[in-house]
Amino acid sequence: MSTRLSEGGRLIDRSRKIAFRFDGKRLTGHPGDTLASALMANGQRIVGRSFKYHRPRGVVASGAEEPNALVNLGEGGRHEPNQRATTTELFEGLAATSQNRWPSLDFDIGEVNALIPRFLPAGFYYKTFIHPRPFWKHVFEPFIRHSAGLGRAPDPRTTDPDRYEHFYVHTDLVIAGGGIAGLQAALEAGRAGAKVLLCEQTAHWGGRAPVDGVEIDGAPAEAWIAAALAELEGMENVHLRLRTMVAGVYDHGYVIAYERVADHVAAPDAPRHRLWRIRAAQVVSATGAFERPLSFPGNDKPGVMLASAMRDYLVNWGVSPGDRTVVVTNNDDAYRTAIAIRKAGLDVPCIVDARDTADGPLPQEARALGIPVKTGMAIANVKGLRGVVAVQLCRQAGEGAVIEDVICEAVAMSGGWSPVVHLWSHCGGKLAWDAGGAFFRPDHEKPPTSHDGEGFVVCAGAADGALHASEVLGNAGAATGRALARLGLSAPGRVATASAPDEAALSPVWMMPQGAGPKKRAKMWLDFQNDVKVSDVQLAAREGYESVEHTKRYTTLGMATDQGKLSNINGLAVLADALGAPIPQVGTTTFRPPFTPISMGAIAGEARGAVFQPIRRTPIQDWHERNGAAWEPVGHWRRPYCFPRDGETKRDAVNREILATRTSVGLLDASTLGKILVKGADAGRFMDMLYTNMMSTLKPGRCRYGLMCSENGFLMDDGVVARLDDETFLVHTTTGGADRIHAHMEDWLQCEWWDWKVYTANVTEQWAQVAVVGPNARKVLEKLGGDIDLSKEALPFMAWAEGRIGGFDARVFRISFSGELSFEVAVPASQGRAFWDALLDAGAEFGITPYGTEALHVMRAEKGFIMIGDETDGTVIPQDLGLDWAISKKKDDYLGKRAQERAHMTDPARWKLVGLETLDGSVLPDGAYAIAEGVNDNAQRNTQGRVTSTYWSPTLEKGIAMGLVLNGPDRMGEVLEFNTTRKAARGEDAPTVKARIVSPVFYDAQGEKQDV
Amino acid sequence: MLTLTCPYCGVAACETELSPGGEAHLKRFGPGSSDDDFEAYLFLRPNVKGVHFERWRHAMGCGKWFLAARDTATLEVFGTYSAQTTEPPPGIVEAIRAKRPDWSPT
The residue among A980, A988, A931 whose CA lies nearest residue A959 is: A980
The closest of A458, A464, A426, A416 to A595, measured between CA atoms, is A426
A-chain residues within 8 Å CB-CB of B19?
743
CB contacts of B38 in chain A (<8 Å) are: 898-899, 902
> How near does any CA of chain A get to the CA of B89, in Å?
15
Residue A265 confidence (pLDDT):
86
Shortest CA distance to A595 belongs to which of A181, A250, A195, A150? A250
Q: Which DSSP string do the residues of A164-224 spell out, in sequence order?
A: EEEEEEEEEEEEE--BHHHHHHHHHHHHTT--EEEE-SSS-SBTTTTTTT-EETTEEHHHH
Asked if residue A850 lies in contact with residue A667, where contact means CB atoms within 8 angstroms, the answer is yes
- Which residue type sits at A317? W
Q: What was the pLDDT predicted at A142?
A: 72
Strands A48-49 and A56-57: antiparallel
Min Cα separation B52/chain A (Å): 14
Contact criterion met (CB < 8 Å) for B3 and A752? no
Bond preceding residue A614 cis, omega within 30 of 0: no
For strand A911-918 and strand A849-850, is the pairing parallel, antiparallel, or unpaired?
unpaired
The CB-based long-range contact list for A841-847 (8 Å cut-off, 24+ gap) reads A842/A780, A842/A781, A842/A783, A842/A784, A842/A806, A843/A665, A843/A667, A843/A772, A843/A776, A843/A780, A846/A664, A846/A665, A846/A776, A846/A779, A846/A780, A847/A660, A847/A664, A847/A665
H or E element, residue A815: none
Interface membership of A514 toward B (CB under 8 Å): no
Q: How far off is chain A from B86, nearest CA to CA, in Å?
A: 9
Q: Which residues of A436-461 are buried (b: 16+ CB within 10 A; e: fewer)?
A: ebbbbbbeeeebbbbbeeebbbbbbb
Give kind and range of the element (H or E) at residue A933.
strand A929-935
Q: Which residues in chain A are contacts of B64 at CB distance < 8 A? A: 750
* φ and ψ of B92, to 5 deg: -70, -45
CA distance A271 to A243: 13
Chain A nearest-CA residue for B84: A751
Asked if A607 reaches chain B (Cβ–Cβ under 8 Å), the answer is no
pLDDT of res. A114: 60
Q: How do beta strands A273-285 and A164-176 pair?
A: parallel
Tell me whether residues B83 and A251 touch, CB distance under 8 A: no
Contact A279 B14 (CB under 8 A): yes
Which of A253, A279, A747 faces B21 most closely, judged by CB atoms?
A747
As a dihedral over the C-alpha atoms of residue A571, residue A575, residue A577, residue A578, rounded to 10 degrees, the angle is 140
* CB–CB contact B77 A747 (8 Å): no
B32 to chain A: which residues are within 8 Å by CB? 898
The answer to whether A734 touches A718, Cβ cutoff 8 Å, is yes
Shortest CA gap A84–chain B (Å): 30
- At A109 the pLDDT is 66
Which residues does chain A have within 8 Å of residue B14's beta carbon, measured at their own beta carbons? 254, 279
More confident residue, A100 or B23: B23
Phi, psi (deg, nearest 5) at residue A813: -110, 125
A528 C-beta neighbours (distance < 10 Å), count: 24
Cα distance between the two ends of chain A: 95
Q: How many CA atoms lie within 13 A of A871 on its CB side?
A: 29
Contact A451 B59 (CB under 8 A): no
Contact residues, A window 767-796, toward B, CB-based 8 Å cutoff: none
Contact B65 A750 (CB under 8 A): yes
Q: How many CA atoms lie within 13 A of A274 on its CB side?
A: 16
Which residues of chain B have a CB within 8 Å of the CB of A899? 38, 42
Selection from A887, A952, A945 nearest residue A914 by Cα: A945
Q: For chain A (length 1012 residues), average pLDDT per consecutive 10?
A: 93 97 96 98 92 89 95 90 95 91 71 59 69 71 68 85 95 98 97 97 97 95 97 98 98 97 86 97 98 97 97 97 97 97 96 97 97 98 94 97 97 97 96 95 97 96 96 96 96 87 95 95 93 93 91 89 90 94 91 95 93 93 97 94 95 98 98 98 98 97 98 97 98 95 96 97 97 98 96 97 96 96 98 98 97 98 96 96 95 97 96 97 95 92 96 97 97 96 81 95 93 88
Picking from A784, A745, A769, the residue whose alpha carbon sits closest to that of residue A817 is A769
**Which contacts (CB < 8 Å, 24+ apart) does range A363-366 have?**
A363/A332, A363/A335, A363/A504, A365/A335, A365/A339, A365/A501, A366/A335, A366/A338, A366/A339, A366/A342
Radius of gyration (C-alpha) of chain A in whole angstroms: 37
Counted residue by residue, chain B has a size of: 106
The predicted pLDDT at position A107 comes to: 72
Cβ of A898 and B59 within 8 Å?
A: no
Question: Between the CA of residue A845 and those of A653, A662, A807, A894, A980, what are the distances in Å?
Answer: 20, 16, 20, 48, 45
Judge whether A451 is closer than 8 Å to chain B, CB to CB: yes
Q: How far is CA A894 from the centre of its chain?
A: 41
**A851 SS3 class:** coil
Chain A with chain B: Cβ pairs closer than 8 A: 69
Nearest to A28 by CA among A7, A20, A92, A46: A20
| Residues in A touching B71 (Cβ below 8 Å) | 453
Nearest alpha carbon to residue A797 among A668, A703, A661, A695: A703
Would you call A322 helix, strand, or coil by DSSP? coil
User: Contact at 8 Å (CB) between A99 and A54?
Assistant: no
A897 touches chain B (CB under 8 A): yes
CATH entry, B3-99, from 2.50.20.10, 3.40.309.10, 3.30.2270.10, 3.40.50.300: 3.30.2270.10
Contact A350, A406 (CB under 8 A): yes
In residues, how long is chain A?
A: 1012
Question: Domain residue spans in chain B?
Answer: 3-99
A904 touches chain B (CB under 8 A): no
The strand pairing partners of A875, in sequence order, are none
Compare CB distances from B84 to A451, A754, A893 and report the shortest one's residue. A754
What H or E segment, with its residue span, contains residue A249?
strand A244-250
As a whole number of angstroms, the distance between CA A638 and CA A33 comes to: 51
Q: Which amino acid is at A72?
A: N
pLDDT value of residue B106: 67
Specify the pLDDT at position A119. Answer: 57
- Ordered domains of chain A (ranges, CATH): 1-161 (3.10.20.440), 164-289+419-492 (3.50.50.60), 293-415 (3.50.50.60), 524-587 (1.10.10.1100), 674-765 (3.30.70.1400), 906-998 (2.40.30.110)
SS3 assignment for chain B: CCEEECCCCCCEEEHHHCEEEEECCCCCCCCCCCHHHHHHHHCCCCCCCCEEEEEEECCCCCCCEEEEEEECCCCCEEEEEECCCCCCCHHHHHHHHHHCCCCCCC
Q: Rounded distance, CA A691 to CA A676, Å?
A: 14
Complex prediction ipTM: 0.97
- CA–CA dist A431, A588 (Å, integer): 9
Secondary structure element (H or E) that encloses residue A568, with its range: helix A568-579
Looking at the partner chain, which of A453, A751, A901 has a beta carbon nearest the beta carbon of B99?
Answer: A453
DSSP β-ladder status, B77-82 and B65-71: antiparallel
How far apart are the C-alpha atoms of B49 and A4, rounded to whole Å? 59
Nearest residue on chain B to A902, judged by CA atoms? B35
CA nearest B72 in A: which residue?
A451
